[in-house]
Structure 1
Amino acid sequence: MNSTVLTKNSTTPITSLDQAELKIRRAGIIRLNPEGQEQVDGEELLQTVCGFNLESKTVAQAIKRQIAKHEFCEGKDFTTSMLQSSGGRPRRVYHFSVNAANHVLLSAMTQEGKQARQEAIDEKRKQQLTDALNIPQSSEKPALDQRENDTPQVLLEINMATSLKAIAFAEALGFTGNQKLLSADRLLKSQIGFSPLEAMGQRQLIAPVQKMTFTPTQLGQMMTPPQDAREVNRRLEAARLQTRIDRQWIPTDLGTPFCEILDTGKSHHSGTPVKQVKWYQTALDRLVPRADAAPETVPMDLNSHDADPPLYGSDEDCEPIPRKPKRKRNRYELDDYFSLVELGEFIGRSRQHVVEVLEKLRIIKWTGQGKKGKYLLTDKGWQYGLMYDPTETLFHNRQSKRLTTSNAQPVLGYDILKFFH
């Protein structure tokens, strides 16, 4: 039983859940929640994709009608959260699962039944998984249950062969290293009830690299005297461990053994992926102190004490001293950290939106009374950033006694981007 719906700004009919999911993914409204699960904002689904023309005060009612219509269950098909608004009461926000969002889109302006569509999509996904693992199909019992008379050795051989196919399947999806093995193990346990890792008595895998990596800011704090990230990057460049290309630091062949390149999962406005370089502590052994430039001296004519000094910027100067451009407020231009304003600009949202999300996640908190206060990192927030004083151009750790009295402000590393997908 098929239903057809034409979505806003689209002339292509959507007749299946797969097509509905593709439409939603192309709209870019699927995001990850803090637990790493995909979810779809209810208002964006109805307004942007389904083409409903709703006023802000009627959005919640329209979402509730969809929930009642499809008999969605809270916790499985949708979740809710409270969004703190500026100056008013908190607003309830609805988040659908991807599967529930598919049903909402497919049934928009139609009355087709949910059960038939759900059975069709479940059967198709089961078929895809069966084909990938090459597991024989049966309408009665799983293949392993039909071999009750086989010896343990035969069953083990079957499970081992299926495990190798699961690992190959995970690798085809792009998983590597320990993540490939863990993904294959979870797949096997959920589908056939066999866990290779548990069977071998291994519930955890040892990471292949046992070295900690550090940002240039963290490397600078290990140096004597401490250096800021810009100076560390200059020294890494002077040691020929990295080079700057299109405003990004790229490790050289000489520097590759001393670092790791991590994918942050975000993209620049140009579309290029945002990657972060972190260094092993051994990279410090390759750095040499930067020789400070000797101050320029002007010979003094002892016989002309009354001579006027040259006027900087006059015709006597071939190159007037350039003035340092004023830095914009709340933009610190650190290589490894965002200010709250810079984070908002990077993700294309306002500073207020960033603050609301970080307060909701309990990463920052307001201290003080009224406008005479500031944001500080919480205990959880110190996992994602530091406190930076732009006046003194130095970082404060969580034990600093001057966190509230100085001009220190929260700055957050690239890891914070996972909360803004």
Structure 2
Amino acid sequence: MDSTVPTNHNTDLITSLDQAELKIRRAGIIRLNPEGYEQVEGEELLQKVCGFNLESKTVAQAIKRQITKHEFAEGKDFTTSMLQSSGGRPRRVYHFSVNAANHVLLSAMTQEGKQARQEAIDDKREKQLTDDNQSHHAPENPALEKRDVYTAQTLLEINMTTSVKAIAFAEALGFTGNQKLLSADRLLKSQIGFSPLEAMGQRQLIAPVQKMTFTPTQLGQMMSPPQDPRQVNRLLEAARLQVKVDNQWVPTDLGQPFCEILDTGKAHHSGTPVKQVKWYQTVLDRLPPKPPGESIETSIDQNDRKADPVVCGSDIDSDPVQRKQKRKRNRYELDDYFSLVELGEFIGRSRQHVVEVLEKNRIIKWTGQGKKGKYLLTENGWQYGLMYDPTETLFHNRNSKRLTTSNAQPVLGYDILKFFH
């Protein structure tokens, strides 16, 4: 048996383009391309609807025969794209317009429909010309006016309807307010290439609550004198505004009016969603001068993200500085930052992979000779992190003179995760 001959002869013969299109739509193989036009993937059309029994190596030949048979023009009746296959060469995929797909199905289903097919083609062309000349008249039944190339108005109406459905879908998932609109906008942009916000000239939304939120690191910068982010977290805890649960800070009922819990859109390696707590600036008025039974730790310089640590044994040390208990190598357990090793563990990849991605995106750079060197943040990298000295448990800023001579290593905030999709 010739594998290119349809095997499922339908008793209900298809003798018009409208009948063919109805069958294709019921098969659910019509999809929107990134430009918003409907198209039908060639292999699905031949195998699932037309009933061809094809082996994978003969699919492309069968599709090309249909293109030649119907004298289809590339860019009008069909387009192609390259699909990367696993372990092999890229495969060319053919996408037919709905009109072209109707022709293929009509000729494949019945020979008796040839004359009806041509009459249907002529009739459809005549209708399209009439509609173009009388576009100001609305059709009696718009649902029957299906076209492969939509007018701007029709395409806008389709996108608007899809946008409303996307917003309802985001709401069903629990999103509210601006987050609901932004989530729906991202969904539409990624799936059909249409962004309602961009189309309306709104790249960002105005927050319903006109208050900025800040991380403990940023709050520490606002304090006088500026404080370490871990000290800020302890002050928030002392004010009963947050507690630590499973190594994560969680706002209390008392603290919730002063903060927002943000979904970063990321997940821990275990699959648990990553949440980030940010605070309104007004929370500073609620913080005590120091936690009970503790003294304020070394503050940071207002012009530096962190002041240079005191050198052990220097003239300004009355006694040698007591070293803290050693942590696991290259794991600093900071509240707002990852070390390179911790970042790799968080995303489930190796430290080497993390380094390669960060170097590729010019976030970090190697300085020194051979193994006698270290990674430093680049000029671009400072917007994503700081340099942290685990020996002195202090941060350095870009102007520190001891970046290369101290034990400071790059640590990066949650924003860095966007490079590891």
| Alignment size in residue pairs | 277
Distance in 1 (alpha carbons) for counterparts of 2:350 and 2:153: 57
**Which residue number in structure 1 is paired with residue 276 of structure 2?**
276
> What letter is aligned with 1:223?
M
Distance in 2 (alpha carbons) for counterparts of 1:274 and 1:196: 26
Q: Which of 164, 168, 193 matches 2:164?
A: 168
**What is the CA-CA distance between 1:232 and the residue it aligns to?**
1.5
TM-score between both structures, scaled by the size of structure 1: 0.53
> What CA deviation, in whole Å up to 9, does each residue of 1:236-276 have, x standing for no partner?
12222222222222223332232222223332343311211
Is the Cα contact below 8 Å between 1:167 and 1:184 reproduced in 2?
A: no
Aligned 1:157-196 pairs, distance under 5 A = 165-174=161-170, 176-179=179-182, 182=185
Q: In the superposition, relative to structure 1, how do residues 372 and 280 fare at CA in structure 2: closer, same or farther (>3 Å)?
A: same
> What letter is aligned with 1:279?
W
Q: In the superposition, relative to structure 1, how do residues 146 and 409 fare at CA in structure 2: closer, same or farther (>3 Å)?
A: farther
> What CA deviation, in whole Å up to 9, does each residue of 1:88-135 have, x standing for no partner?
xxxxxxxxxx9714xx36x989xxx9556x4499999xxxxxxxxxxx
Distance in 1 (alpha carbons) for counterparts of 2:100 and 2:183: 26
Is the Cα contact below 8 Å between 1:363 and 1:377 reproduced in 2?
A: yes
**What is the CA-CA distance between 1:339 and the residue it aligns to?**
0.8
Is the Cα contact below 8 Å between 2:269 and 2:348 reproduced in 1?
A: no
Q: Structure 2: 5+ residue runs without aligned partners?
A: 5-27, 30-56, 62-80, 102-122, 139-150, 296-322
Distance in 2 (alpha carbons) for counterparts of 1:420 and 1:197: 25
Is the Cα contact below 8 Å between 2:376 and 2:410 reproduced in 1?
A: yes
Q: Do structure 1's residue 149 and structure 2's residue 148 form an aligned pair?
A: no
> What letter is aligned with 1:326?
K
Indicate the structure (1 or 2) with the bigger Cα radius of gyration: 2
**What is the CA-CA distance between 1:340 and the residue it aligns to?**
1.0
**Which residue number in structure 2 is paired with residue 411 of structure 1?**
411
- SS across alignment from 2:418: helix
**What is the CA-CA distance between 1:327 and the residue it aligns to?**
1.2
- SS across alignment from 1:289: coil
- SS across alignment from 1:263: strand
Q: In the superposition, relative to structure 1, how do residues 268 and 178 fare at CA in structure 2: closer, same or farther (>3 Å)?
A: closer
Q: Do structure 1's residue 100 and structure 2's residue 97 form an aligned pair?
A: no
Distance in 1 (alpha carbons) for counterparts of 2:255 and 2:331: 30
**What is the CA-CA distance between 1:211 and the residue it aligns to?**
3.4
Is the Cα contact below 8 Å between 1:388 and 1:408 reproduced in 2?
A: yes
**What is the CA-CA distance between 1:377 and the residue it aligns to?**
0.6
Distance in 2 (alpha carbons) for counterparts of 1:265 and 1:188: 17
**What is the CA-CA distance between 1:163 and the residue it aligns to?**
6.3
Is the Cα contact below 8 Å between 2:219 and 2:232 reproduced in 1?
A: yes
**Which residue number in structure 2 is paired with residue 226 of structure 1?**
226
**Which residue number in structure 2 is paired with residue 386 of structure 1?**
386
**What is the CA-CA distance between 1:228 and the residue it aligns to?**
2.2
- SS across alignment from 1:278: strand
- SS across alignment from 1:331: coil
Distance in 2 (alpha carbons) for counterparts of 1:196 and 1:330: 43
Distance in 2 (alpha carbons) for counterparts of 1:263 and 1:121: 41
Distance in 2 (alpha carbons) for counterparts of 1:369 and 1:252: 50
Q: In the superposition, relative to structure 1, how do residues 163 and 412 fare at CA in structure 2: closer, same or farther (>3 Å)?
A: same
Give the fraction of aligned pairs with identical amino acids, expressed as a percent: 61
**Greater CA drift, 251-260 or 408-417:** 251-260
**Which residue number in structure 1 is paired with residue 250 of structure 2?**
250
RMSD: 4.8
Is the Cα contact below 8 Å between 1:170 and 1:183 reproduced in 2?
A: no
Q: In the superposition, relative to structure 1, how do residues 108 and 211 fare at CA in structure 2: closer, same or farther (>3 Å)?
A: same
Distance in 2 (alpha carbons) for counterparts of 1:394 and 1:245: 25
**Which residue number in structure 1 is paired with residue 359 of structure 2?**
359
Q: In the superposition, relative to structure 1, how do residues 160 and 168 fare at CA in structure 2: closer, same or farther (>3 Å)?
A: same
> What letter is aligned with 2:212?
M
Is the Cα contact below 8 Å between 1:185 and 1:197 reproduced in 2?
A: no
